[in-house]
């Protein structure tokens, strides 16, 4: 049992209440409409006015100047996992749409200089209206194998010029800035990677498509192009010295070592939602002490055990991060284990409900479509197996 601090308990309780009142209804409505809530939705303003608390369900905490000092920093990874699970219980898509720096904030924390963190994260302390940030790594020819990034960065005078295309970027169309990963030389592989903050109004930055998705419709997923986008030198995260000796790519991977267990924890929340839905159905529809009821409860108990194990893997990974220990292996363990467990949870719940579970007005049908992204986001399952093999057995890396 985790002995949570007062602030963490309050955060989880507030996410639970907001999830019940707003997030689940918004998620169901977004799924029916096949598009995310608009950026001016009143709920986003409510989140901002309440101090941006709910935006931390995707892994962020106060950018600076708030919280409980070193104690708050120590609790940040654990809070992120717990609030991620709770928010995804109500609706993962809406949770990812909430105002905040998003994955871009995680990249800034692991890569940026203190001056850059102050510059780009400070606006999120303005709670008068909603703010978003984003991070773009995936390209048409570079998904989980990020070493294949082709977006080009070239030095030009006192700045940089970026050219290329990015896709599947969460919240990019409403973000005030996007952390864009590019390469200075494709032949250098990972050593050529650089991260830049591209601000929304920069000429040449153009959103070209908002994806229409099978599931997870509560947040927007955008594709954009960079047509000779000029950014100042101070927008290169970490500065030139950061990218010596492969540190740039390692900075990107350090981001995922935190966000992968958060992603897995979101899956645990979705699995819990399916489990609770099925339990409510069994209690209401199956005769007490009947054999059919007992068989269903036995199956659901197995699902509960799997979800509990997945949660422990997530907590272990962030506990290591909280204590300054290397957690790449454990982060991949959590990401590798959780998605199939969550898929079985939703599938089992559908089996228990039968025809009642696949009607479009039922939440389980939506969860069945939503859950697929767990396999893909934050690195596919195949990539996680490679990461684990490299960590355990010295499996050779690519270029």
Alpha-carbon distance 9 to 2, whole Å? 11
Name beta bridge partners: 333: none
Report the alpha-carbon distance of residue 243 to residue 56 in Å, rounded: 28
Using alpha carbons, list the distances in angstroms from residue 88 to 19, 84, 290, 353. Answer: 9, 6, 33, 22
Q: Identify which of 91, 88, 87, 64 has the alpha carbon closest to the alpha carbon of residue 76.
A: 64
Yes or no: say if 311 and 266 are a contact pair by the CB < 8 Å rule.
no
Query: Token pair of 19, please?
Result: 């999830």
Estimate the crossing angle of helix 6-18 against helix 70-97, to 10 degrees.
10
Cβ neighbour number for residue 59 with a 10 Å cutoff: 28
Beta strands 133-136 and 177-183: pairing type?
A: parallel
Please give the Cα distance from 53 to 92 (Å, whole number): 16
Residues near 343 by Cβ (< 8 Å), separated by ≥ 6? Answer: 371, 374, 375
Burial (Cβ within 10 Å: 0-12, 13-18, ≥19) of residue 398: exposed
Task: Give the three-class secondary structure for 172.
Answer: helix
Q: How far is CA 354 from CA 89, 185, 270, 281, 299, in A?
A: 22, 55, 19, 11, 14
Q: Which residues contact 161 (CB under 8 A, 6 or more apart)?
A: 153, 154, 228, 229, 230, 231
Q: Which helix (H) or strand (E) holds 170?
A: strand 159-170
SS3 for 69-108, per residue? CHHHHHHHHHHHHHHHHHHHHHHHHHHHHCCECHHHHHHH
List residues with catalytic annotation. Answer: 378
């Amino acid at each position: 049992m985790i002995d949570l601090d007062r602030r963490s308990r309050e955060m989880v309780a507030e996410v639970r209440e907001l999830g019940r009142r707003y997030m689940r209804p918004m998620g169901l409505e977004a799924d029916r409409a096949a598009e995310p809530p608009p950026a001016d939705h009143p709920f986003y303003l409510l989140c901002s006015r309440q101090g941006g608390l709910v935006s931390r369900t995707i892994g962020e905490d106060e950018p600076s100047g708030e919280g409980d000092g070193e104690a708050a920093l120590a609790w940040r990874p654990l809070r992120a996992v717990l609030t991620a699970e709770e928010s995804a219980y109500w609706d993962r898509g809406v949770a990812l749409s909430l105002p905040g720096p998003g994955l871009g904030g995680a990249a800034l924390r692991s890569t940026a200089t203190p001056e850059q963190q102050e510059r780009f994260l400070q606006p999120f302390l303005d709670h008068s209206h909603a703010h978003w940030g984003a991070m773009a790594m995936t390209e048409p020819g570079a998904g989980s194998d990020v070493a294949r990034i082709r977006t080009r960065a070239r030095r030009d005078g006192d700045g940089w010029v970026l050219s290329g295309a990015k896709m599947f970027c969460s919240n990019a169309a409403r973000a005030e800035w996007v952390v864009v990963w590019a390469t200075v030389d494709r032949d250098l592989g990972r050593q050529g990677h650089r991260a830049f903050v591209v601000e929304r109004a920069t000429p040449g930055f153009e959103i070209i498509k908002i994806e229409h998705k099978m599931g997870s419709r509560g947040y927007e997923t955008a594709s954009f192009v960079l047509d000779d986008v000029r950014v100042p030198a101070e927008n290169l995260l970490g500065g030139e010295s950061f990218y010596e000796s492969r540190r740039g790519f390692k900075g990107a991977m350090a981001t995922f070592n935190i966000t992968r267990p958060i992603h897995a924890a979101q899956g645990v929340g979705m699995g819990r939602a399916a489990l609770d839905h099925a339990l409510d159905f069994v209690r209401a529809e199956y005769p007490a002490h009947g054999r059919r009821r007992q068989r269903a409860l036995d199956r659901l108990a197995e699902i509960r055990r799997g979800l509990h194990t997945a949660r422990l893997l997530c907590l272990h990974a962030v506990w290591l991060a909280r204590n300054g220990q290397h957690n790449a292996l454990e982060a991949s363990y959590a990401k590798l284990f959780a998605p199939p467990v969550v898929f079985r949870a939703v599938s089992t719940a559908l089996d228990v409900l039968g025809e009642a579970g696949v009607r479009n007005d039922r939440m389980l049908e939506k969860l069945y479509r939503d859950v697929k992204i767990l396999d893909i986001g934050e690195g596919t399952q195949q990539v996680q197996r490679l990461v684990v093999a490299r960590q355990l057995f010295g499996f050779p890396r690519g270029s």
